[in-house]
Structure 1
């Protein structure tokens, strides 16, 4: 049922099959080569373009996670968990390689998502879109969100590596600045 639901979301937001395939390729680049940049740019340039000003009213971390999850969802290769309980806290997204798929060159993935509203950052969408990645990273609200997410990911990765002995875990923090920019970074796992 989840797989059919995710496919319907993708078709609704990205009706063009060739563009949907680009999203699938970007997702695959993440879990095979830990290349997050292509996936973030795809969400920023394709998925977020669907949202309108009135959608900002309900935007939050979950909105960002849903965009990424709809592209990353693959229950054939992974045990997918949204809000996985890890030590009395909940990780936004874990993708643990299924035991029968461990023979393939895949990566276990942990992602924590954050959302910073344009109003909190004191910016318009037009200004946000013109910022370089380094300028987005230096915004106090983005820095704060990234720091909080990184602290969470370090805790979650310790719990995951203690729970699963053979993880090839790669962890990321992703922060959306409105529906205009995405800033991300890989977090080195502490074992």
Structure 2
């Protein structure tokens, strides 16, 4: 889970409400936080795979909150 303040995004809540998911994902602050989330998920998946092998079919979720107005999600399925 990552958080981007409205100040960091450079936008206000009303503007964020009107934006679609693709436009939100394209915001530089959101892209940076998504990258951080992906890196964290990759480390965590690696540890779980080392511990449990291929027995788990994991689905990982990264979530970026834009203020308290919007959420941007990233879903990654791993395994067979």
* TM-score, structure 1 as length reference: 0.39
Tell me if structure 1 keeps the 8 A contact 2:57–2:78.
no
Look up the match of 1:136: 24
Residue 155 (str. 1) matches residue 71 (str. 2)? no
Q: Which runs of 5+ in 2 are unaligned?
A: none
2:77 and 2:29 mapped to 1: Cα distance? 22
> Structure 1: which 5+ runs fail to align?
1-112
Partner residue in 2 for 1:73: none
Computed over aligned residues only, the root mean square deviation of the Cα atoms, in angstroms, reads 1.6
> SS where residue 168 of structure 1 aligns?
coil
Q: For residues 189 and 116 of structure 1, what CA distance do their matches in structure 2 show?
A: 27
Q: Which has the higher contact order (CA 8 A, sep 6+)?
A: 2
Separation in 1 of the partners of 2:43 and 2:37?
10
Bigger Rg, structure 1 or 2: 1
Contact 1:133 1:183 in 2 (8 A): yes
Dislocated runs of 4+, deviation >6 Å: none
Does 2:66 match 1:173?
A: no
Distance 2:31 2:38 in 1: 10
Instruction: Please tell me whether residue 121 in structure 1 is matched to residue 26 in structure 2.
Output: no
TM-score, length of structure 2 as denominator length:
0.89
By how many angstroms is 1:188 displaced? 4.0
Q: Does 1:164 align with 2:71?
A: no
